[in-house]
Amino acid sequence: MLRKPATATQVTHLQRLWLYVVCALVIIFLVAPTLIVIPMSFSDSRYLEFPPEAWSLRWYRAYLDSSEWRQATVVSFKVAGLTMVVATVTGTLAAYGLHVSRAKAGKYVSVLLILPMIIPVILLAVGIFLAFAPVGLNSTIPGLVLAHSVLAIPLVLITVTAGMRNFDINQEMVARSMGASRPWAFLTVTLPQIRNSVMSAALLAFIISLDEVVIALLIAGGDKATLTRRMFLALRDEIDPTIAAISTLLIGLSVVLLALSQFLQSKKN
Amino acid sequence: MKSSMTDAGATSVGPAAHAPDTEHSLPISVQSLVKSYGAFRALDNVSIDIRSGEFMTLLGPSGSGKTTLLMVLAGFVRPDSGSVTFGEREILLLPPHKRDIGMVFQNYALFPHMTVAENLAYPLKLRRAGKAEIRDRVERALDLVQLSGLGGRGIHELSGGQRQRVALARAVIFEPRILLMDEPLSALDKNLREQMQIEVRRLHEQLGITTVYVTHDQREALTMSDRIAVINDGRIQQVDEPRDLYEKPSTYFVANFIGETYSLPVEVSGSSVMLFGQPIKTPAPPEHGDRHQALILRPENLHVFEAEPDPGMNSMAGTVRQHVFQGDSIVTYLTVAGDREIAVRRQHRSDETLPAPGS
């Protein structure tokens, strides 16, 4: 650690100690509410309490033993997996199309695609509910996948567009001149080079769907309830530490996926 | 040197002098191509015939339409009207991947996620060649561009010149009968560029493939081409062999664009040409009857005399302004007829004395 300034103008760590303290406080303020559920999930108590008086894994057992929670988990993962596929394919194609297009309408199309990220989710949820009602898509897996894809496509679009920026489209042209059809040139030349961005985008799409609750509250009823919806309802009806256990698992998974996504993005395509 | 200031427009060229070797190359015929972007005419009624096996360079300043023309040939730009045939076949409606052309881009466009050998194998795999055949042809292609043994290298491990060679080899490995090149050497430094010019030319002679080469570098065009098509404002100005283009430019633009030139106004009446009121001798009588034309002077064809020269030569009086030493030559800038600047270039000899500026 640097204690004495090496030159007359150098600032020592001691002199900017206040800055480190402020940063630490900000981080604690941001992260603590999330992390507080982790010790609570290992509590032996019947109620959500902090700090716990005794430790146990009973709430993890309770989660695994409940057929309702298990069913919700299956729904959540099914929807997240399918959303990942739908949003990644559509978002990547959109990013590619907008990248190579010289059309003036391109700008408006990308704004349109990013719109779901900007407007309040509750409005989106109400709109989706009303649109799905007449066609019977509410409380169905395809309905949930479509709704979550709307939320995930903007992130896929942004991530893949960023990855495409470094890609030289001449490579695709040269592949086509050598006899590759356009889709084949995309698959063999373009896609391998934007692969990390696409995979990173796919992980983001998965997390978005897995963590989504507002739309699920409105359109995911009956046996198609997602994990987050069931958690929300459980929280309203009874304070049950099972939720803390599930939350801890979800946080762990999200952190891992997000870290993986960041790692893929930081690696050169 | 004499040139008229009229615009001859698109020049068309007669049929191929030698019999087309359609096994290795195809002639290209471009008829009345038009391509507009809004109000801008990138190609304005372009017609040109390229002989089978010919090295044709499209030369012009940036924005002249030369790259647009190349992209029409490649199939990446669809023209508004016109016709393009490779051999007997009309190809305008064919997508790029069905045209069977080799292409080299300025930035090489090598696939960085593949090795050198995989890059070369790409077009062969598309043609469903067998493994043994691919290995064989990749090796021969590497030999052809003097990169034997580098097949396993990654693209990032190659120097600029080596990348250029790989791009060339990849463009010809599947034996296309037409090769298109878009400023392929402009990213290289001067020495390497000159070396590659000779290399590309050698490759062309070896393969006999019809080659269309785009450049804005007139020296490169003069060095490499069988014929050069000078393009400006979406129109073909002149199509000729390098020497004819240099010595007999048919438009004012071509005269100015190729080589270093100075122009002086001349008055033409009948068969006589007057420069600043003095009659001058011309190698051929003026072709056009216009009164005001331009005399194009090239610095290397002029001489400076301190005394009155032989009356049989065209001459004019001028004042020496400045000498510029350029290593192998010395350029003398003079003022003639009061305010017109011309330059004279001569080989540099260390023992000579130069007329002092102001004389």
**pLDDT for A15:** 82
Residues in chain A: 269
Quick: pLDDT tens for B171-206.
999 999 999 999 988 888 888 888 889 989 999 998
pLDDT grade for A150, boundaries at 50, 70 and 90: very high
- Residue to mutate among A102, A178, A186, with most B CBs inside 10 A, is A178
| pLDDT of A151 over the 60 cut | yes
What mean pLDDT, rounded, does chain A reach? 89
**Residue A124 Cα, gap to closest chain B Cα (Å):** 40
* CA–CA–CA angle B19, B21, B25 (5° rounding): 130
Quick: pLDDT tens for A205-238.
999 999 999 999 999 888 888 999 998 888 888 7
Task: Report which DSSP code applies to A222.
Answer: G
Contact assignment for A179 to B110 by CB distance below 8 Å: no
The values of phi and psi at residue B329, to 5°, are: -145, 165
Quick: pLDDT tens for A82-124.
999 999 999 999 999 999 887 788 889 989 999 999 999 999 9
- Order of strands across the sheet with B227-232? B101-104, B178-182, B210-215, B55-59, B227-232, B235-240
Listed residue (B128, B139, B178, B126) closest to B20, CA to CA:
B178
Higher-confidence position of B29 and A5: B29
Q: Which two tokens stand for residue B24?
A: 């290795």
* B307 C-beta neighbours (distance < 10 Å), count: 4
**pLDDT for B18:** 45
CATH of span A67-266: 1.10.3720.10
pLDDT grade for B285, boundaries at 50, 70 and 90: low
* CA–CA–CA angle A72, A77, A78 (5° rounding): 95
Between B113, B126, B171, which is nearest A193 by CB? B113
Listed residue (A225, A211, A212) closest to A255, CA to CA:
A211
Round to whole Å and give the CA distance between A183 and A89. 13
Q: Which two tokens stand for residue A162?
A: 């960023």
What mean pLDDT, rounded, does chain B reach? 83
**pLDDT for B233:** 92
**pLDDT for B292:** 63
Q: Which two tokens stand for residue A101?
A: 């297009």
Contact assignment for A178 to B122 by CB distance below 8 Å: yes
Contact assignment for B96 to A170 by CB distance below 8 Å: no
Contacts of A176 in chain B (CB under 8 A): 75-76, 95-97
**pLDDT for B288:** 62
Quick: pLDDT tens for A32-57.
888 888 888 888 888 777 788 888 88
**pLDDT for B3:** 40
* CA–CA–CA angle B219, B233, A100 (5° rounding): 95
Between B95, B109, B171, which is nearest A170 by CB? B109
Q: Where are the alpha helices (DSSP H) in B28-65?
A: none
B258 Cβ contact list (under 8 Å, min separation 6):
B218, B222, B230, B245, B246, B249
Round to whole Å and give the CA distance between B239 and B230. 6
In angstroms, how far is the first alpha carbon of chain A from the final one? 36
DSSP-derived pairing of the beta strands B329-336 and B318-325: antiparallel
Higher-confidence position of B188 and B20: B188
For chain B, domain boundaries: 28-252, 261-347
Higher-confidence position of A233 and B348: A233
| Interface residues from chain A to B (CB-CB < 8 Å) | 168, 170-171, 173-182, 184-185, 188-189, 192-193
What number is the average pLDDT over the span B141-160?
91
Round to whole Å and give the CA distance between A93 and A149. 14
Round to whole Å and give the CA distance between B314 and B297. 12
Round to whole Å and give the CA distance between A213 and A233. 11
Residue identified by tokens 């009968």 is B177
Round to whole Å and give the CA distance between A120 and A126. 10
**Residue B109 Cα, gap to closest chain A Cα (Å):** 5
Of the candidate ranges A205-214, B231-240, B251-260, the one whose mean pLDDT is the lowest = B251-260
Q: Which fold has domain B28-252?
A: Rossmann fold (3.40.50)
**pLDDT for B42:** 92
- Order of strands across the sheet with B89-90? B40-50, B28-37, B81-86, B89-90
Contact B126, B170 (CB under 8 A): no
What number is the average pLDDT over the span B105-132?
93
Provide the whole-model pTM.
Answer: 0.77
**What are the beta bridge partners of residue B334?**
B320, B342
Residues in chain B: 359
Higher-confidence position of A267 and B189: B189
| pLDDT of B71 over the 80 cut | yes
Size of interface A-B (CB pairs under 8 A): 66
pLDDT grade for B335, boundaries at 50, 70 and 90: confident
Nearest residue on chain A to B112, alpha-carbon basis: A193
pLDDT grade for B15, boundaries at 50, 70 and 90: very low
